[in-house]
Structure 1
């Protein structure tokens, strides 16, 4: 193989939110900066040097670095910066697969005659992002998407790294197992408990060994990656067939209340992404993983496609309620939710805004005979307002009141009242 066979680029902006803040305010440059107050949404590399990490509480960040500077998030600024960077990507290659607001894969395999080697193209891309957008970006170059992403992670911050095809395993095997796609804290702890700490250790085990240790899907996945196998191509502007999110809970007891709250927050995240992408979905899928590494899936198809948070949340919680006996028996380590059968937003059949007054009796009013009236809540408008608040002030700035003070002991229905 020739070095030119390494034609996939993984471009990843460095400490994206914090870098935008440092770009726009010169006084912040070279200083420890975190975006977000109560929870750290992003940290500059100066802040990371103190051990500050994303999702850490603001109090914990200040304990590690009393001089840390906290700035409120500006989602509009980050969105504009992302669009500017992706414009550079699109000018670099016709094959761009965005995987988040601040990173993408590019396939430059057919550009040698007009743009030079992949390494030349990667160098030029970094220079153009710095000059035109004012942000540092790291690029990994490799034969596969997985290796390109690992290379960019190793090269951070503001770096460039090529993994030649004839040196892939020499590059990959000395790395810690956490560099493998899909190895989080729980999987890493399991591997470490069995003396598996480096990628080379994973590669030394058979697929059968890894499957028995981690389950069929994870075991086969890590067995392939540890040997540098990743056949996935770069797919340009692919329309996703589903949108989902998941959260690893770790081992130990998890109360019904905490699991319900986690699932509700995942639904908020998924439906917000659906609305941002102008997508609607009909099928809600609940995914659970247990302490014995077995998994179950439950799904329900709605009569009409929707992106409404309350509709998807109620459906997901109903699925969780029916699956709860399995959780009690096996112990839950991961919960996830996805919405499939996606359509474009213009296919939605909107609910008619009936003006009928809804009458109900409650509390003192029921005793006095007084009629309490209210108009139906416009759930589409409510979701739009909540999306705007989260864009302005961060994803944790507002949440559903149904997550506050609810009783979700075993035996108590999980569905909202």
Structure 2
């Protein structure tokens, strides 16, 4: 049986800032854009979370919930450095490390546990202690026999907590767990389940599969598997990218077609640079636009050959934009460019992307 640890740093960005700036300690701190901009919360200290503030919340909404909160801009490059420092503690234990973000990762410690005759719980406890001793930052950990259970366990005792779900404890624990705490169940899905009188794990586990599928489609089977504690996914030391892209919430509503094209070309350059950084090629280009009324559209183009150079996309950006410019341009608040169909195995040698 596998031994999986999920480690999640506690309020990572905010904790770093409070560590480095004593004047921020014990105060509601928000790492993100100023409340008078269209920015969102990147991280919130636990003092801020007490007011209902969470990551991805619009900054202006966070300010309404806590007018006296301190807002500071993020230092992403610095956070990456600390994340890499923490990750170095994992490698002597296992090469099977799957980062989910800068502040959390899965570790498969099965082999190390067996060969060193040490429990996964002891390994997790030692890692948490080492992280704190070295960085003065706290983390929480969940330990179990698969990724899903380890992640759920990690969320149960934050901050600075350690939770273990053994095979004997897992099913009783899941049976009483509110459905909102299962992975893959957001607010919309939770509302559907509540209408079906499904409120916790045992309700989900014992639900009629056919009835569940009628309301949730293909996801129904996976959710019931989760309720049974099943998760066969391995810890992947090299995660496969599904897409790479950039998007930007504008500081003003954009209504000029020429300016829109200019900004998309800039984003395309950044997104293509990310492809090169990850040594990837892509055959699909996707344009994303969110209007001021929050209506969102995407337009994509898939080629038989990859976008080798950033300029290869310029023609197709114009083509994808054209239908949107027939009538006066609606005010736009967010734009994005992304690449997908990455590293397709059937790529042919590069041919002209469009007729001259």
* TM-score when normalising by structure 1: 0.64
User: Where does residue 257 of structure 2 map in the other structure?
Assistant: none
Structure 1 residues 206 and 137, CA, compared in 2 at 3 Å: closer, same or farther? Answer: same
Aligned counterparts of 1:82 and 1:177: Cα–Cα separation in 2: 31
**Is this contact kept in 1: 2:244–2:274, CA < 8 A?**
no
**Structure 2: which 5+ runs fail to align?**
246-259, 289-298, 325-336
The structure 1 residue matched to 2:9, chosen from 10, 13, 35, is: 13
8 Å CA contact 2:300–2:320 kept in 1: the answer is: no
The match for 2:31 among 35, 38, 46 is 35
Select 1:146's aligned residue among 123, 145, 148: 148
Superposed displacement of residue 50, structure 1: 1.0
Q: Which residue of 2 aligns with 1:133?
A: 135
| 8 Å CA contact retained: 2:307, 2:313 | no
Question: Per-residue deviation at 1:44?
Answer: 0.6
Unaligned runs of 5+ in 1: 246-259, 288-296, 323-335, 352-417
RMSD (Å), alpha carbons? 3.8
Provide the rounded CA distance (Å) in 1 between the counterparts of 2:318 and 2:211: 34
Give 1:193's aligned residue: 195
Kindly state the Cα deviation for residue 232 of structure 1 after the two structures are TM-superposed: 1.0
Distance across 1 between alignment mates of 2:7 and 2:322: 38
Q: Summarize the Cα distance change of 1:213–1:271 in structure 2 as closer, same or farther, 3 Å threshold.
A: farther
Contact persistence 2:3–2:110 (CA under 8 A):
yes
- Partners of 1:155 and 1:310 lie apart in 2 by 49
Pair 172,271 (structure 1): closer, same or farther in 2 beyond 3 Å: farther
C-alpha separation in 2, matches of 1:24 and 1:316: 46
- Is the alpha carbon distance of 1:272 and 1:26 closer, same or farther for their aligned partners in structure 2, counting shifts above 3 Å? farther
Partner of 2:243 in structure 1?
A: 243
Please give the per-residue CA displacement for 1:106-160, whole angstroms capped at 9, x wherever unaligned: 0111123426110000000101111122221111000110000111111221110
Q: How many residues align?
A: 304
Separation in 2, partners of 1:196, 1:68: 37
Alignment of 1:173-184 (within 5 A): 173-184=175-186
Q: Partner of 2:343 in structure 1?
A: 342
Return the TM-score normalized by structure 2: 0.74
Give yes or no for the alignment of 1:167 onto 2:163: no
Tell me if structure 2 keeps the 8 A contact 1:6–1:163. no
| Cα shift readout 1:42-73 (whole Å, capped 9, x = no counterpart) | 10111001111222233322222222111111
Counterpart in the other structure of 1:374: none
Alpha-carbon distance in structure 1 between the residues aligned to 2:85 and 2:138: 13
Do 2:280 and 2:342's aligned partners in 1 also have CA atoms closer than 8 Å? no
Shift of the 226–105 alpha-carbon distance from structure 1 to 2, 3 Å rule, reads same
* Cα separation, 2, equivalents of 1:223 and 1:320: 44
Cα distance in 2 for residues equivalent to 1:152 and 1:168: 13
Cα deviation, residue 272, structure 1: 7.3
Provide the rounded CA distance (Å) in 1 between the counterparts of 2:101 and 2:315.
24
Superposed, 1:191-270 pairs within 5 Å as: 191-216=193-218, 218-238=219-239, 240=240, 242-243=242-243
Give the Cα separation in 2 of the matches to 1:102 and 1:23. 16
| Matched-pair contact (CA < 8 Å) for 1:172–1:226 | yes
Alpha-carbon distance, 1:196 to partner: 1.7
